[in-house]
A = this chain, B = another copy of it.
């Protein structure tokens, strides 16, 4: 099958879009596909359009591109819609966080028990959930065969919401499971030789299976941890072997994977000092004020750099993207340097799962991926109508989740997942009913609340602002 139509909604996220394009260029079965880049921000859309076309051209892969600022146009005729849009952008997140902090909610009201990830807004960003729902309904109305791939947060709430409210084919993706590879590398394992599984809900996934040569190798993971005092993260995201992760492993009995270590109780998050203790100096993890600034500064510098790159390429069509891109990226932190290298390595995929998913479906190439998909008994201790994050084999027949074996322990179900799921239900009900009084009620159960009036006043200010 050729000429698959893939639309990227929120394509202005240039790094993400380029990863997708790079991955397509290494998928022979997707040769001749048509990529529609859609974003409301014309300037960023232009930048990514220039870069993406150049990338495909230098990788010598036949692709067609079009750009649009119109969502209907992006959805029309698409076989796959990848949504990475963050409605309101980081500016909105910052504004909400600021109002929250003004009323005594450190890190904003969206930071919640088991959901401390700083761009995973479940309470205030109704526009984000609303946009996801609108998109799914457009797809549902347009074609029952079109897949919607959710890349934007909140993946757990979003995937659950869309699979409950629409008949669209929805699947959610996240990077968290990639940290299994980091675990392996740290303890000297080759992940290809390891039999592993993770299971849970997005940003709350646990390494239920970790076997080498048929034997459990869970104990070997302990060797990855250093003494608490000597934990020195290389960047704010480097928390896989943090004291927080170790304490969670001790209590829950399994290794938390990826963003899970960020999502604990408030015990690791009360303030900067606490965060530094659990996630290491100097940042205290990426969800601290300093850690988040590191991340958003880096994002901003990448956006700026890519815009300059695009201008350069437009001015001189003889310029090599490979050369200037790799050069520009060499000034960035390690993870991003690696990213640039991969683009031009014919054997390396970016790590994003969207294109492998599309390729598996289109070309019936059975591929193991970690997906967010309706539970329907995959994790039998959890409700059936929520999205779980589990490994699955994907082929032209769709998603075939693996049997979770061994099953998740009761400790994780009762003490982590069910409380997290409860909060998802509260957030979705508030969103669906557009009822700020439910947000007040959520805050009345929040450790940062000191009075009824405090909860009422922050909600009043936030929902007056967002209604404008």
Contact = CB atoms under 8 A, between A and B. Distances in A.
Interface of A: 113, 251, 265-268, 270, 274, 414-415, 418-419, 422, 425-426, 429, 437, 441, 444-447, 449-452, 455
B414 A444 contact: no
Interface of A is mostly: helix
Contact of A251 (B415, B419, B422, B437): B437
Contacts of A451: 267, 270, 274
Number of copies: 2
B444 A446 contact: no
B414 A426 contact: yes
Given A422-B422, A446-B447, A447-B446, A267 B437 contact: no
A418 B422 CA distance: 8
Contacts of A251: 437, 441
Given A270-B451, A274-B451, A419-B422, A414 B441 contact: no
A449 B449 contact: no
Contacts of A270: 450-451
30 contacts: A113-B445, A251-B437, A251-B441, A265-B441, A265-B444, A265-B445, A266-B444, A266-B449, A267-B444, A267-B449, A267-B451, A267-B452, A268-B452, A270-B450, A270-B451, A274-B451, A274-B452, A414-B422, A414-B425, A414-B426, A414-B429, A415-B426, A415-B441, A419-B422, A419-B445, A422-B422, A445-B447, A446-B447, A447-B447, A447-B449
A252 B441 CA distance: 11
A274 B92 CA distance: 34
Contacts of A268: 452
Nearest to A452: B267
Q: 3 smallest A-B Cβ distances: which pairs?
A: A447-B447, A267-B444, A265-B444
Contacts of A449: 266-267, 447
Contacts of A455: 267
A325 to B, nearest CB: 45
A445 B447 CA distance: 8
Contacts of A425: 414
A92 to B, nearest CB: 27
Nearest to A250: B437
A415 B426 CA distance: 8
Contacts of A274: 451-452
A416 to B, nearest CB: 10
A422 B418 CA distance: 8
A40 to B, nearest CB: 35
Query: Which residue, A251, A437, A445, has most C-beta atoms of chain B within 10 A?
Result: A445
A112 to B, nearest CB: 12
A53 B338 CA distance: 88
Contacts of A418: 422
Contacts of A450: 270
Nearest to A429: B414
A445 B267 CA distance: 8
Contacts of A422: 414, 418-419, 422
A451 to B, nearest CB: 7
Nearest to A252: B441
Contacts of A445: 113, 265, 419, 447
Given A274-B452, A414-B429, A418-B422, 20 more contacts: A251-B441, A265-B444, A266-B444, A266-B449, A267-B444, A267-B449, A267-B451, A267-B452, A267-B455, A268-B452, A270-B450, A270-B451, A274-B451, A414-B422, A415-B426, A415-B441, A422-B422, A445-B447, A446-B447, A447-B449
